[in-house]
A and B are shown apart, each in its own frame.
Chain A
Amino acid sequence: QSVLTQPPSVSAAPGQKVTISCSGSTSNIGDNFVFWYQQVPGTAPKLLIFDNNRRPSGIPDRFSGSKSGTSATLGITGLQAGDEADYYCGSWDSSLSAGVFGGGTKLTVL
């Protein structure tokens, strides 16, 4: 059971938009930054979003992040076949003094 809650899977057609939710609590998402990672099977995770809504250089603006209270959302527009991957949210938990991740969401581009 992960501390952060994500839907197991989402899907959408190429060119469409998809959102992935991440639900936590005050001690993690509520009080700390949210990070999002993309992991193509067989490879290491890659940072997509940091500090709730900031993109590292090289990440296209099709990817966006937002946070409200104890929940966060990753948005992906203009879906491409190459976006098929597992997506994880992560945050620091001030009560646990530990890093926490969501269980991951598998994105399928139909």
Chain B
Amino acid sequence: QVHLVESGGGVVHPGRSLRLSCAASGFPFSSYGMNWVRQAPGKGLEWLALISYDGKIRYYGDSAKGRFIISRDNANNTVSLQMNSLRNEDTAIYYCAKRRGTGMIDSWGQGVLVTVSP
């Protein structure tokens, strides 16, 4: 079955960078698009980014444009999110999630907490 495990979260100062990673298993990773979604404390789900199965196409939500970069390594079944110029409002649980076809998400990781604090 699909297994997604995020890592790389923690506490970071505003303006600094952080890189999240997600290790995938249980499915043909190189055949599927992958997403990052976040959830601020007490808030709803916010879609951040999608990378196509081959890494050639990337889409970003408004909060991620210009600061976050999604990438993937199909040889090692991992997807990453490089987050730069972090702000207090980036504090959230970040989820790695598998795309179903050309639609939305059918599998989620357990999430990793990122706290941006002075």
Q: Tell me the A residues contacting B by CB distance below 8 Å.
A: 2, 32-33, 35, 37, 39, 44-47, 50-51, 56, 86, 88, 90-92, 97-104
Contact = CB atoms under 8 A, between A and B. Distances in A.
A76 B70 CA distance: 36
Contact of A91 (B37, B46, B104): B104
Contact of B104 (A39, A56, A92): A92
Contacts of A2: 44
A99 B44 contact: no
A90 B104 contact: yes
A33 B108 contact: no
Q: Is the interface of A mostly helix, strand, loop or mixed?
A: strand
B47 A46 contact: no
A98 B44 contact: no
Contacts, number: 68
Interface residues of B, number: 22
Residue from A46, A86, A99, A101 having most chain B Cβ neighbours under 10 A? A99
Going nearest first, the 5 A-B pairs with the smallest beta carbon separation are A99-B47, A104-B44, A35-B104, A33-B103, A90-B104
Contacts of A32: 102-103
A66 B45 CA distance: 21
A2 B103 CA distance: 18
B47 to A, nearest CB: 4
